[in-house]
Amino acid sequence: MKIGFHLHHIDNKLKFAFLIIFLCFNTFVFSQADKARKTTQKFSTTLQLIEFGYVDSIDSPDLVEKAIIAMLKELDPHSAYIKAEDVKRLNEPLEAEFDGIGVTFQLFNDTILVIAPVPGGPSDKLGILAGDKIIKINGEDAFGKKINNEYVMKLLRGKKGTSVDVSILRSGKDELIDFTIVRDKIPINSIDATYMAAPEIGYIKLTRFAKSSVQEFNESLSRLRAQGMKDLILDLRGNTGGYLNIAVDLADQFLSDKKMIVYTEGLRSPKQEFFSTGSGDFLRGKLIVLINESSASASEIVSGAVQDWDRGLVVGRRSFGKGLVQRPFNLPDGAMIRLTTARYYTPSGRCIQKPYEHGETEEYYKDLTKRLESGELVDSNSIELADSLKYFTSNGRVVYGGGGIIPDIFTPIDSTRFSDFYSDLVRKGIFNTYNLNYLEKNRKRVLKEYPNVESFKEKFIVTDEMYADFLDLAKEKNVERKETEKYYYPDNDLKIQIKALIARNLWDTNAYFRLINELDDELNVAVDLMQSGKAFTDLNLH
């Protein structure tokens, strides 16, 4: 009897407690709903008052758009409003393809110059060549001051199956050549370079995490293995990210089964964990991931997972620190809001996102300048490390949170990047103008003498006469080296830059990186680390 009475007594107490919790929860929910309703009502009432009583006529859609932009700025640096007409354009670099005629072009002296047709694309199939100039589009002149990138995109891109007429001026031909090009799907590659950096060491440069990235990566691995690759350098420098699922799939290429790759969590977004499957294509072999201050988001997910599981070396400088997850929400007019809903965390629990103040977007993006001024880009000891942000890898190595991925091996930034002379050469288009002028006269001869990238790399020389012409062109554009300049860009390095850009115009970006990477001290450090193997042994990496 006593026992039964006691249980009944407890049961009543529990019922009462649950009732109180239920009532409190419902009060909270209704309170939040009422607060949201009043806020929405306040906004719409304000807009109605402006429309009804303001002294001048107003553009209501524009006003609402500006209000949305201002609201999102108060949240965090990565929540954003995207206009309807910009939605497709912003997503395009992360898609595997777009519809168009399939050429890489450049505006040269107010003319559309074909740098190269996309292999297998509609222009390539019709016989359009590198160096051709598009003079007319659909019967109308397509040269002069009206020509800009937007103009070209608008006229040459279009839905698959539609056609566009172009008239081309080709070197050695007196008359224009007419083509009718039927637009088709054009692939967008996310890998800029794949080649052997040294015997048994492959190099892959991934520029974004797009839909086709993992497929491209596996194809690159196959090509490198056919050339004797055993170890891999994955270059994620300057890679600002892309799709989360692609980052997870790429990290999965390196990790054995059931290893957490990343997890996300937010106030209203329950914790989501992502694990490896053990079915990757590069589970064995030494791995180095190159990162720098411009490596962000998906790049940090991959490098963080590799580091936390002691799978390879992370080399370079502290990454950007973009660890906020954006979810797209479509608006009725076709516009979109990318709203931050969660944060990324590495397997050890490090939050990738660097600190920020609400509403201070401009200051947030000055971080690179602050890193330079603090000395962080030239000396790893300048990075402030807090004991409260100490985490541990699978082997017990100490790693630090606080924003971004801090590399295992630090490499200082190349100070020649800050040369005013070099910056002006790039900014005023001197390299491109010189190379296009040079190839206008010499393309056929160069390709005949150097039929492939390897022969060009080994034998082509930027002569003193060529370099003098280059400097004369720069002088014409008021670009000259000043004796007082703090950072000096060596003449020989400029010659290599010219040579690499000529190679890009003759072939592709892969050719460019094979040549320009001669100047890449960070890549050279990675190759040395790989060949030595000491750092892998010392850190017990596997």
- Measured distance CA(542)–CA(539) in Å, rounded: 9
Closest CA to 221 of 253, 256, 189: 253
186 with 246: CB under 8 angstroms?
no
CA of 172: how far to CAs of 177, 178, 387, in Å? 12, 16, 69
**Bridge partner residues of 32 (DSSP):** none
Amino acid of residue 358: H
Residue 322 appears among annotated catalytic residues = yes
Q: Which of 235, 308, 508, 520 is catalytic?
A: 308
Percent composition of the chain: helix, strand, coil (DSSP 3-state, to 5): 45, 20, 35
Q: Which of 133, 259, 286, 322 is catalytic?
A: 322
Q: Which of 167, 212, 220, 297 is catalytic?
A: 297
Strand ranges for 22-132 from DSSP E = 80-82, 97-100, 103-108, 111-117
CA of 440: how far to CAs of 115, 126, 450, in Å? 11, 21, 16
Residue 380 appears among annotated catalytic residues = no
Residue 308 appears among annotated catalytic residues = yes
Q: In the numeric block, which tokens belong to residue 127?
A: 């016989």
Cα-Cα-Cα-Cα dihedral sign, residues 316, 321, 324, 326: negative
The contacts of residue 187 (CB under 8 Å, 6+ apart) are: 96, 97, 118, 212
CA of 501: how far to CAs of 208, 370, 397, in Å? 21, 32, 42
- Measured distance CA(16)–CA(331) in Å, rounded: 44
Buried b vs exposed e over 301-322: b needs ≥16 C-beta within 10 Å? bbbbbbbbbbbbbbbbbbbbbb
Residues assigned a catalytic role: 297, 308, 322
